[in-house]
Amino acid sequence: MSITFTPQQVASMIEAVAVEGVRTDPIQGIAALAEASADDLSFLGNLKYSAEVATSRAGVILVPLEFVGVPQTNQVFLRVAKPSFALALICSVLEAKLWPKPPAGVHASAVVAPSAVVDPSAHIGPLCVVGENTIIAAGVTLEARCQIGTHAKVGPDSWLKPGVLIGDYCVLGARCRIQPGAIIGSDGFGYEPIDGTIHRIPQIGTVVLEDDVEVGANTTIDRARFSRTVIGRGTKIDNLVQIAHNVRIGRQCLITAQVGIAGSTTLGDHCVLGGQAGVAGHLTLGDRVKLGAQAGLFEDVLADGFVNGTPAMPFGLERRLVVLSRRLPDLFKKVDSLAASLDSPKS
């Protein structure tokens, strides 16, 4: 990756609160504090790494407002409220340069149904398929091999990466971003055993992604058995996540990799689920609930709850039990020794 920005351009880009130091040479890369060269930009995202700033060779360093220190010769400090977010702003500019939006138009190899409505500003890439009565809104990008089912809708400025599948009747809001291989609107896992035979239950509902939802690679969101599976505005879903039929996820939630959420469960707003957490069906999680990594949840959690472990329990209690469990071998030895002393014949 090659970039060229002057310190002044970077300061303007991130609206730095203060600029300290003097440097005329541009920066040409981004690197960690310990690895940066004189031509790199770096950042102090966590104050525990403050000591590395004094020895870093980075030409420009993003530092928090409370950081105590001065830049070296030919080095500039840009003071910002949140260095990590400021770096994200810079990377968003770089992303647009590295992966520019494809030009509007429909590729010759794409198949677009006659009844589909495709905005002239949208990009339909190679080998895409757009179904009957589907709406592709302004500014949408469908990269190669995307398939959009019948009667579906993809909202303005949404960007679908290669190999994404959007099922029939599903709806994506504005500015949704879907990573490669994700499937929105596959059948929910609905079956009914009757007299020893497992019967399929048709899944006739839809999936609705509200505005600004992002979905990771190879994640699956199942259509509802009836009504809707809903992902709330601004929620971000990582790779390899399974969200079952009729699940409702609130706004601004974070669902990390390999999470599984069973059917008809409801999450409130601003929930955070750690990697590989599993949530049973028909549960309710209140606003701002947190699940630790690999937690197994089998009961409702009230708002602001923080649970961990399997079965999931309040985080503080689960941590204490983990500490106590590590003492069990010594405890058993003491019990065995006590039992032996009691069983031994008295003199």
Active site members: 245
- Reference 259, options 242, 281, 244; nearest CA is 242
Contacts with 70 (C-beta within 8 Å, 6 or more apart), sequence order: 20, 21, 77
CA dist 17 and 81 (Å) reads 8
Please tell me the distance from the alpha carbon of residue 279 to that of residue 307, in angstroms, as a whole number: 12
Question: Which strand ranges, in their side-by-side order, compose the sheet holding 254-255?
Answer: 105-106, 123-124, 141-142, 159-160, 177-178, 214-215, 236-237, 254-255, 272-273, 290-291, 306-308, 313-314
Separation CA 121–CA 133 (nearest Å): 18
At residue 240, what are phi and psi to the nearest 5 degrees? 60, 40
List CB contacts of 319: < 8 A, sequence separation 6 or more. Answer: 308
From the CB of residue 251, how many other CB atoms can be counted at a distance below 10 Å? Answer: 19
3-state secondary structure of 72: coil
Cβ neighbours, 10 Å, residue 204: 13
In the three-class reduction of DSSP (H, G, I as helix; E, B as strand; rest coil), residue 324 is classed as helix
Beta strands (DSSP E) in 109-215 are 111-112, 117-118, 123-124, 129-130, 135-136, 141-142, 147-148, 153-154, 159-160, 165-166, 171-172, 177-178, 183-186, 191-194, 197-200, 206-209, 214-215
Which tokens is 120 given?
Answer: 């002239």
Q: Is 14 helix (H, G, I), strand (E, B) or coil?
A: helix
Give the Å distances, CA to CA, from 340 to 253, 328, 329: 56, 18, 16
What does each C-alpha distance from 133 to 140, 156, 170, 181, 201 come to in angstroms?
16, 17, 12, 23, 26
